[in-house]
Amino acid sequence: MKRIFLFLMFFVTSLIVGIGVSGCKSDNKIDSSLISTGTNISQEVQNENDNMDKKSYAGLEDVFKDTKVITPDGKYMMIVFGSNGCPYCEMLKKDIKNTPELKSYIQNHFSAYYVNLSYSKIHDFKVGTKADLKEVKIPTAQLAQMYDVRPTPTIVLTDTTGKPILVFPGYMPEKQFMAMLEFIGNGEWKKAKDQKEVNKLLRNFILNQTKS
């Protein structure tokens, strides 16, 4: 499988002044034997994990889609990588659940997915344009490897073809998180000429949007 080129932004925390960003170490490892093909997963285990995975975002089914198929579907795409026992993942979900404006913005502008790294699941991953659609069956562990996910939560934001714009590691407070989503959803990121400028514009946008 051709490796998808990623724009990573793991140094963004040093750019966003005054924002406390935290995350959990990804200690919940998936069996490495599943990384290559996922063929070791029995149908019974697969079905069980599909259902357990959905429990990870219980109460937010109107925000996060079933991860059996992961695709932008004509919108920007947000993939949140979380894990069991991660307090910052729970904080992020609580922020979305308890903030109507944030919840509504995600629903209107993003195809959103919550991928729980504590379970193994086969995802039908579809990105690209209609003229050049790339589709692969990929297990959870390999999907996380593609984005070099380390702490949880890690938030991946892509354009409407699935090309990553930002990969943000860790938890961001509700107001700053909302500003980051608006930076993508309102098309502010398109003003940048390269990834370095994307990071600079994001920093300034968040600071301007969250002034008190």
Q: Domain residues for 178?
A: 12-22+39-209
State the CATH number of the domain containing residue 194.
3.40.30.10
Mean pLDDT of 104-120: 96
> Which residues lie below 8 Å from residue 162, measured CB to CB, with a gap of 6+?
71, 72, 77, 126, 127, 128
Q: Does 28 fall in a domain?
A: no
DSSP labels, 124-162: EEEEE-STTEEEEEEEHHHHHHHTT--EESEEEEE-TTS
Tell me the pLDDT band of 26, cut-offs 50, 70 and 90: low
> The pTM is what?
0.82
CA 109 to chain centre: 14
Read off the pLDDT of residues 157-204 as tens digits, 9 standing for 90 and up. 999 999 999 999 999 999 999 999 999 999 999 999 998 999 999 999
Burial class (CB in 10 A: 0-12, 13-18, 19+), 43: exposed
Q: Does 51 fall in a domain?
A: yes
Would you say 167 and 8 are in contact if contact means Cβ atoms under 8 Å apart?
A: yes
Q: Does 117 fall in a domain?
A: yes
- Is the pLDDT at 30 greater than 50? The verdict is no
Q: Does 104 fall in a domain?
A: yes
Tell me the pLDDT band of 28, cut-offs 50, 70 and 90: very low
Tell me the pLDDT band of 52, cut-offs 50, 70 and 90: confident
For residue 73 the two structure tokens come to 């579907």
Number of domains present in the structure of the chain = 1
Q: Does 7 fall in a domain?
A: no
Q: Does 141 fall in a domain?
A: yes
Q: Does 85 fall in a domain?
A: yes
Q: Does 94 fall in a domain?
A: yes
